A and B are shown apart, each in its own frame.
Chain A
Amino acid sequence: MEEKSLFILKNIKVKIKNRIILDNISINLKKNNITGVIGPSGSGKSTLLKVLSFLLTPYSGEITYKGIALKDYNPQKYRKTVSYVQQRPYLFPKTVRDNLLYGPKLWGIKYNEEELYALLDLVNLDPVFLDREVINLSEGEKQRINIARSLANKPEVLLLDEPTSALDLLSTEIIENLILKLKKQDLKIIVVTHNLEQTKRISDEVLVLNAGRILDHISIDEFLHSRSDEEIRLYFKKQSSNGGNQND
């Protein structure tokens, strides 16, 4: 069973400034599917993505990726393979081309014009965007470039932190279609989301977090059938009493 596991997390604990954000989490995440990470604000969803992307070192516990402990990977090479996409698109203040080629330049990956156009096409953007300054892009376009910038590194896993939270319906649909398209290309995708309908549309399974602990790791259908409407609303609720934070 472990052979098929992409990530294995054992007793992961994350403590920031003496506050426990993730509390003894143990999970197996398999390849080639889409995992929706859900839970109320402050439940540790974004922190889990950062731990998986090696952007946060747990206080204790062990993580393996493809059977090898994370600490045995070169962190930079690992982050190229397991790519974390931030909730807000922090693009470098240059052109779209510069942003798309940032990762490939680090890794010596060559791109010709056609390949760059294909990358833009993947996120439904016209080739004319390539030499546009990012300052002139809409939020939806920025988010799509944000994802395309990660894809330019040719990752095996994409970790998306609420990719559509600030987007209009059209941009949301484009990104959801992109996620489904990427799944067909054998990419493992883990998405943090607050959107129930989106979870139903794109996720094969859900990981339900609450107060830093895993409540469930089941298929979306099982989840919807096993919970009351009120509970489901709670897990997708955006605001909590602590207002949520970037260590969410």
Chain B
Amino acid sequence: MIDWLNNFIDSALLIDAGRRIILSLILLAIMLGLSRWQHTDLEGSFIYGFIRGLVQIVLLGFILVIIFSLQSLLLLYIILSLMIVFAAASTRRTHKYPKVFEIELAGIAVASYTIMTIVIVLGIIPVKGEYVIPLGGMVISNSMALSLIAMERIYSDLEHKKGMVEAAIALGATPRKAMNSIIRDAIRASLLPSTNRMAILGIVSIPGLMSGMIIGGMNPIIAAIYQIIIFLMIISSGFIADIIVSYYIIKIVFDPNGALKPDYSIE
């Protein structure tokens, strides 16, 4: 692996990449010129952002070189697990719902492990870091994003339709039954944008994964197939995460006797 890294550093590729970076500094110069001309006072931010971003992304590149060379399934799952924990933890900063970390961790973990295990076991993607990690990353980040949409929608609908939910409970409905329409609407709201994006694939958009693979030299047909696979992975994992999240929310807002807790709160 280290040999491979050394070869990579010595390779013509790196020299070529350096040349491109230096040439692209012209764009930075244009940005600085425009900022000075328009008195936006952004020159410092541009330079700081460029240098910091360059260092971070190059460091990430080196880490990815090591990760992509991994072929041990156990190690790959350990890395995926860390990504899942980081994704769930990041929701705590942006969303103040009760037990958001636990809910997201459960949703993302069940969804991602299930979908990644299916695609690996069935041989849909190779057991190689360069496939498992980036595709796993997409599955994890989308499971997080989609289930957060569902969570937001469930809580906001519950606020508006609390009276109706209580009416259903008073008639003898279980919490799941009383929340049926709210959960259905939330899952639809979270999945429909991705489903629509999948439906316009190739006509209106060439998404990031496919573009990246083509730029990286992959045959466009193969890249297209991976693109549709990733859409299926994203939507199916999002669906699973939505279901886990919605069940977990029911546990939080209803008491063990199936009545809405009077003191559940969204701060």
Cβ of B110 within 8 Å of any chain A Cβ, yes or no, is: no
How many chain B residues touch A (Cβ–Cβ < 8 Å)?
19
| Interface SS of A by simple majority | mixed
Collect the chain A residues with CB atoms within 8 Å of residue B255's CB.
57
8 Å CB interface, B77-112 against A: none
CA distance A40 to B116 in the complex (A): 60
Collect the chain B residues with CB atoms within 8 Å of residue A54's CB.
257, 259
A17, A75, A86, A247: the one within 8 Å of B258 (CB): A75
Cβ of B130 within 8 Å of any chain A Cβ, yes or no, is: no
Cβ of B123 within 8 Å of any chain A Cβ, yes or no, is: no
CA distance A17 to B264 in the complex (A): 10
Cβ of B170 within 8 Å of any chain A Cβ, yes or no, is: yes
Cβ of B232 within 8 Å of any chain A Cβ, yes or no, is: no
B167, B173, B262: the one within 8 Å of A86 (CB): B167
Binary interface profile of B, 168-189, with partner A (CB < 8 Å = 1, else 0)? 1111111001000000000000
Are the CB atoms of A150 and B170 closer together than 8 Å? yes
Q: Known contacts being A55-B166, A57-B255, is A80 close to B263, with CB within 8 Å?
A: no
Collect the chain A residues with CB atoms within 8 Å of residue B260's CB.
55
8 Å CB interface, A110-137 against B: none
A92, A106, A247: the one within 8 Å of B177 (CB): A106
Are the CB atoms of B257 and A84 closer together than 8 Å? no
Collect the chain B residues with CB atoms within 8 Å of residue A57's CB.
255, 257, 259
Cβ of A169 within 8 Å of any chain B Cβ, yes or no, is: no
Q: A228: shortest Cβ distance to chain B, in Å? A: 35
Q: Known contacts being A54-B257, A86-B163, is A79 close to B262, with CB within 8 Å?
A: no
Are the CB atoms of B257 and A75 closer together than 8 Å? yes
Of residues A17, A90, A91, which shows the largest number of chain B Cβ atoms within 10 Å of its Cβ?
A90
8 Å CB interface, A233-248 against B: 247
Collect the chain B residues with CB atoms within 8 Å of residue A83's CB.
170-171
Cβ of B73 within 8 Å of any chain A Cβ, yes or no, is: no
Are the CB atoms of B172 and A80 closer together than 8 Å? yes
How many chain A residues touch B (Cβ–Cβ < 8 Å)?
29
Q: B257: shortest Cβ distance to chain A, in Å? A: 4
Collect the chain A residues with CB atoms within 8 Å of residue B173's CB.
76, 102, 106
CA distance A178 to B262 in the complex (A): 31
Are the CB atoms of A79 and B166 closer together than 8 Å? no
CA distance A75 to B170 in the complex (A): 10
Are the CB atoms of B164 and A76 closer together than 8 Å? no
Collect the chain B residues with CB atoms within 8 Å of residue A88's CB.
163
Collect the chain A residues with CB atoms within 8 Å of residue B164's CB.
90-92
Residue of B nearest to A107 (CB): B172
A75, A86, A150: the one within 8 Å of B166 (CB): A86
Binary interface profile of A, 148-173, with partner B (CB < 8 Å = 1, else 0)? 01100100000000000000000000
Collect the chain B residues with CB atoms within 8 Å of residue A146's CB.
167
Q: Known contacts being A57-B255, A86-B163, A90-B164, is A106 close to B172, with CB within 8 Å?
A: yes
Q: Known contacts being A86-B163, A88-B163, A106-B173, is A76 close to B258, with CB within 8 Å?
A: yes
8 Å CB interface, B218-267 against A: 255, 257-260, 262-263
Residue of A nearest to B171 (CB): A103
8 Å CB interface, A64-123 against B: 75-77, 79-80, 83-86, 88, 90-92, 102-103, 106-107
Cβ of A16 within 8 Å of any chain B Cβ, yes or no, is: yes
Residue of B nearest to A79 (CB): B172
CA distance A36 to B262 in the complex (A): 24
> Which residues of B approach A to under 8 Å, CB–CB?
163-164, 166-174, 177, 255, 257-260, 262-263
State the 6 A-B residue pairs at the shortest beta-carbon distance, nearest first. Answer: A90-B163, A80-B172, A103-B171, A75-B257, A84-B170, A90-B167
- A79-B171, A106-B173, A153-B172 known; 11 new pairs, CB 8 Å cut-off, are A56-B259, A76-B258, A77-B172, A84-B170, A88-B163, A102-B168, A102-B173, A103-B172, A146-B167, A149-B167, A247-B262
